[in-house]
Structure 1
Amino acid sequence: MNKSKWLYFWGLLITVAIIVISCHHLPPSKSSVTIKLSGWGGSPVEQKLLKQVLQDFEVKHPNIKVKYEVISDQYMDVIKTRLIGEAAPDVFYLDALEAPFLMSQNVLEPLDNYITPEFDLADFEENLLNSFKYQKHIYGLPKDYSTLALFYNKKAFSKAGLDSPPNTWNELRSYSQQLTGKLNKYGFGESPELARQAYKIKAYGGKIVDKKGNATFASESGLKGLNLVIDQYQKERTSVLKSDVGASSGSDMFGQGKVSMVIEGNWAIPYLQETFPQIDFATAEVPTINNKKGTMVYTVAYVMNKQTKHKQAAWKLISYLTGKEGMEKWTGKGFALPTRKSVAEKLGYDQDNFRSALVAGVDYATPWQVGKYPAAIANNFDNQFISALLGEQPLNQAMLRAENNANQQIKMME
């Protein structure tokens, strides 16, 4: 080998050696972290949409991987069991109904110290954010919500000579009489569960639970709101339950044309458009009761497991999903309403033909939240109220029985 080749060979060898040594002394790349996110299943379209949002998050945060798990059965029982066994996911869905109990158990990470001014906490609807506050700490950030609105059949209204939706509950009952037996068999489809009736109890100054968390819906003022339902169903016979007409839900009996009006949430809009495209319907705010506006609001938050070993990564995921960009992607298709005012405005939902009535109700809505032991409250109410509605016992007797049973159960659980 001649001299020039030797020089070339040694030069190449030295270059390779320098590269190897340099690489050896480079700071190690950040190791990736896997965050487990758990929730319940929605429609296939919603699931696909969420997975796309999570993929967008991973692109922005290449060192964080998200493992998404759907718990399709007994969701809260599974979560509670895993929390006890310290095997819960890093981030998970928490319904406002279940939040008071978990927030009181020291199993959730308070989010106050993670929230920066740039996150713009004031942009959230206050009524929704308050459902996830406990002892002056924020434990969850609401990802979406729905209120209730009046859905009415425009063709049925036209046939009955009605050109606008009812503004008061008395008008709704009058409309129901005019609509019953026309295009539809009944004027109004009723949903008797406490989750749909709580705002009626509040309309006359009644309460569902007291400050101690005990049931108190059997008060005289609370019964006034519930009597509206009893009278319309028993005396006027212009309202009907889903079980009376072989329907699976309020939306279903409306879509089937069994009733001219129902009070439903945002979920009913895509359901009716896809399943019953022939129905020409419109929405309006829930009619006032006792001169007071009222409706319900249901919301779900992302919360952080206090035992997670990846708190900063978990916060990055929560802050993206509930931040302006992530929320716009998640709620942009209309399956859910954004909890941030700026996102709702940007998407135009406050002006939307179907959704504006739902958005308008968020400020005055009653949150679906009834203390630390919601099952005892709701189950006893639902069982006894149905009994009263069917005429098996007087309303005051039924509600007193429900209240006493609920409070006995709560006492045993405390």
Structure 2
Amino acid sequence: MFLTPRRARRLSAAGLAASGLLLASACTAGSSGGADSGPKADARQTIEVWHGWSADHEVKAFDDAVAGFRKLHPNITVKLVKDQTDDRITNAIRGGNPPDVVSSFSTDSVGSWCNSGAWQDLTPYLTKSKVDLNMFPQAVRQYTEYKGRRCAMPLLADAYGLYYNKALMKGNQPPKTIGELTALAKKLTVRDPDGTIKVAGFMPSAQYYEHQVQHLATEFGAKWLTPDGRSNFAADPAFKAYLQWNKSLIDWYGYANVKKFLKSLGQEFETSNPFEQGRVAMAVDGEWRTKFLQDEAPKVDYGTAPAPVPDDQTARYGGGFVTGTVIGIPRGAKHPQAAWEFVKYLTTDTHALVTFANGLGNVPSTLPALASPELKMPPQFQTFLDVFKNPNSATTPPTPNGNDYVVKFQAFTQDQWEPGRVPDLDRALKDLDTRVDQAIKLNGG
């Protein structure tokens, strides 16, 4: 997706965690509303909708998607307010003067929104409208609810896969297993005599753009939380397997060479991106990169494929990490009935979703929209449509304190593990579990 502001906000993991904590402790003003409160949906009224998109083409795409709703409900005037952040949404809810509909790029905060009641439970609306949730893939249903309380609906999605530069691949096929990825990464790497990395076959560091822990550990089948919502780092061997693979390839490059390479890179969302510059042969990235490559590096001949999985988990190949934008009705909304009609339309109407997806270069978030002939994307985009609907795809589960557990694991990986400062990995993961569990407990988990 051609959304630098959106990606920057989502990638600020610490900021998202802090936002989640703020949401959990705020939002005490205003009534909860409900499926039978406020003016009826057929009454003449104006609803205010806050969203985070800000660039001209983004705002136009949202407006185009809403056009069908305006025709369907001429009595409801829709006022769209762009460039809204989670903090602004939180402050409005806490102050008792929220808009009628809110949208966020941060699925990590769903747990705190649902747990605190900041966003209304949509179950009564869904039941009354007879919405079939099976139109959404399982991972999507997971990141829009917390402990049975569904306070959000999905609005477009992001899926992750493997990008590969065909010229740099030198005729090799994209790897399907971690073993194949490792061998090919070494084969395709080009160095100067002093070890300086000129072209990285694959950069394993969690500090490399989209190679953050949640995107790569997911490929190892990692289960972030236990069924009762506790940290699972020490008990799940997938985390140890991911870390050991990460460190082994970093050590092959040499940590000093990795740090030097990372410092030499340009901005992720500018033309200096190393994949677009031919400095990286393979990289895990989201579907929006197809739009960047089309606009910024049209001469790069590239392909896409699902990200590799461990050699002993080949049955899981085809899945990947998924996440997305969410939309809901805040506590204190003045027109909840009309707000629900808007949310339902925008998240379940195939034409609206496809119109929005085409405008932004995102994955539409329902199975019917994925199969729509109206969807117009480059051939490389098909990988992400397939990943999104694959039953082996997964996401990070919500908690009452946002993505704090991901933030802690990311910090551990890049600041302690990769530099070689962890003498006892098993003990370190147990300590990490303790810290994560304490934070969850403090926030009502």
1:286 alignment partner, SS class: coil
5+ residue gaps in structure 2? 1-41, 192-196
Over residues 345-396 of structure 1, what are the superposed CA-to-partner deviations in whole Å (9 max), with x where a residue is unaligned?
Answer: 1147699621222122222112133422234312222222102112343471
Distance 1:219 1:126, change over 3 A: closer
2:371 alignment partner, SS class: helix
Give the RMSD, CA atoms, in angstroms.
3.1
Question: 1:96·1:299 contact (CA, 8 Å) conserved in 2?
Answer: yes
Equivalence for 1:79? 89
Question: 2:159·2:322 contact (CA, 8 Å) conserved in 1?
Answer: yes
One-letter amino acid of the counterpart of residue 142, structure 1: P
Over residues 100-135 of structure 1, what are the superposed CA-to-partner deviations in whole Å (9 max), with x where a residue is unaligned?
Answer: 111112233332333366755432223212322345
Matched, 1:280 2:301: yes
Equivalence for 1:254? 275
Task: Choose the corresponding residue for 1:107, options 114, 118, 121.
Answer: 118
One-letter amino acid of the counterpart of residue 233, structure 2: F
CA distance in 1, matches of 2:351, 2:375: 16
Task: Choose the corresponding residue for 1:187, options 197, 201, 209.
Answer: 201
CA distance in 2, matches of 1:38, 1:195: 31
1:67 alignment partner, SS class: strand
Using the TM superposition, give the Cα deviation of residue 209 of structure 1 relative to its aligned residue in structure 2, in angstroms: 2.3
Question: 1:37·1:92 contact (CA, 8 Å) conserved in 2?
Answer: yes
CA distance in 1, matches of 2:322, 2:219: 15
5 Å-filtered alignment, 1:10-409, equals 32-41=44-53, 43-72=55-84, 75-94=85-104, 95-115=106-126, 119-158=131-170, 161-162=171-172, 164-181=173-190, 185-190=199-204, 192=206, 196-198=212-214, 201=217, 206-219=222-235, 221=237, 222-237=239-254, 240=258, 243-249=262-268, 252-289=273-310, 290-291=312-313, 292-293=316-317, 294-322=319-347, 323-333=349-359, 335-347=361-373, 353-362=379-388, 363-387=391-415, 388-394=417-423, 396=425, 399-409=429-439
Using the TM superposition, give the Cα deviation of residue 314 of structure 1 relative to its aligned residue in structure 2, in angstroms: 0.4
CA distance in 1, matches of 2:236, 2:424: 11
Distance 1:247 1:205, change over 3 A: same
Greater Rg by CA: 1
| Higher normalized strand content (fraction of residues) | 1
Greater shift in the superposed pair: 231-240 or 288-297: 231-240
Identical-residue share of aligned pairs (%): 21
One-letter amino acid of the counterpart of residue 184, structure 2: Y
TM-score, L = length of structure 2: 0.76
CA distance in 2, matches of 1:280, 1:301: 33
CA distance in 1, matches of 2:297, 2:373: 25
Distance 1:109 1:413, change over 3 A: closer
Question: 1:103·1:139 contact (CA, 8 Å) conserved in 2?
Answer: yes
Using the TM superposition, give the Cα deviation of residue 200 of structure 1 relative to its aligned residue in structure 2, in angstroms: 5.1
1:132 alignment partner, SS class: coil
Using the TM superposition, give the Cα deviation of residue 42 of structure 1 relative to its aligned residue in structure 2, in angstroms: 5.1
Using the TM superposition, give the Cα deviation of residue 220 of structure 1 relative to its aligned residue in structure 2, in angstroms: 6.2
TM-score, L = length of structure 1: 0.81
Using the TM superposition, give the Cα deviation of residue 168 of structure 1 relative to its aligned residue in structure 2, in angstroms: 0.8
Using the TM superposition, give the Cα deviation of residue 203 of structure 1 relative to its aligned residue in structure 2, in angstroms: 5.9
Using the TM superposition, give the Cα deviation of residue 36 of structure 1 relative to its aligned residue in structure 2, in angstroms: 1.3
Distance 1:189 1:404, change over 3 A: same
Question: 1:198·1:208 contact (CA, 8 Å) conserved in 2?
Answer: no
Greater shift in the superposed pair: 212-221 or 83-92: 212-221
Over residues 152-178 of structure 1, what are the superposed CA-to-partner deviations in whole Å (9 max), with x where a residue is unaligned?
Answer: 0011112xx41x211111101111111
CA distance in 1, matches of 2:220, 2:165: 29
CA distance in 1, matches of 2:199, 2:323: 30
One-letter amino acid of the counterpart of residue 338, structure 2: A
Distance 1:231 1:150, change over 3 A: same
One-letter amino acid of the counterpart of residue 393, structure 2: A
Over residues 5-53 of structure 1, what are the superposed CA-to-partner deviations in whole Å (9 max), with x where a residue is unaligned?
Answer: xxxxxxxxxxxxxxxxxxxxxxxxx863121111212543222211222
2:379 alignment partner, SS class: coil
Question: 2:213·2:410 contact (CA, 8 Å) conserved in 1?
Answer: no
Question: 1:285·1:357 contact (CA, 8 Å) conserved in 2?
Answer: yes
Alignment coverage as a number of residue pairs: 380
Question: 2:114·2:120 contact (CA, 8 Å) conserved in 1?
Answer: no
1:35 alignment partner, SS class: strand
CA distance in 2, matches of 1:202, 1:328: 27
CA distance in 2, matches of 1:127, 1:250: 26
The structure showing larger relative contact order (alpha-carbon pairs under 8 Å, at least 6 residues apart) is 2
Using the TM superposition, give the Cα deviation of residue 243 of structure 1 relative to its aligned residue in structure 2, in angstroms: 3.0
CA distance in 2, matches of 1:368, 1:43: 28
Distance 1:92 1:220, change over 3 A: closer
Equivalence for 2:33? none
